[in-house]
Amino acid sequence: MTLRTILMAAMLAAAATGPALAQGAPQGGGGMGACREDAQKYCADKTGPDRRACMEANKDKLSDACKAARAARAQGGQ
């Protein structure tokens, strides 16, 4: 194989896997991915422990899916 063939194969593989990786966790499918939009809406400027504290401070405003995901995680389900 030539270097050009190897590089083309690597580029094709990267292009094929990129969209799958970009999907992330489903928004309404449970898990903490259900909180992604809420985190962006209420706590976009926070990270790590500060973001968790922000989400807790805004827990009454969170979507039903996010509230359910947080409850499941608190019970050890996630």
Dihedral sign of CA atoms 64, 67, 71, 73 in order = positive
Confidence of residue 26 (pLDDT cuts 50, 70, 90): very low
pLDDT at 57 over 90: yes
Query: Hey, what are 52's tokens?
Result: 């968790």
Residue 46 in this model has a pLDDT that exceeds 90:
yes
pLDDT at 27 > cutoff 80 = no
pLDDT of residue 68: 94
Q: Do residues 35 and 55 lie in contact, with contact meaning Cβ atoms separated by under 8 Å?
A: yes
The structure's pTM equals: 0.56
**What are the residue ranges spanned by the domains of the chain?**
3-74
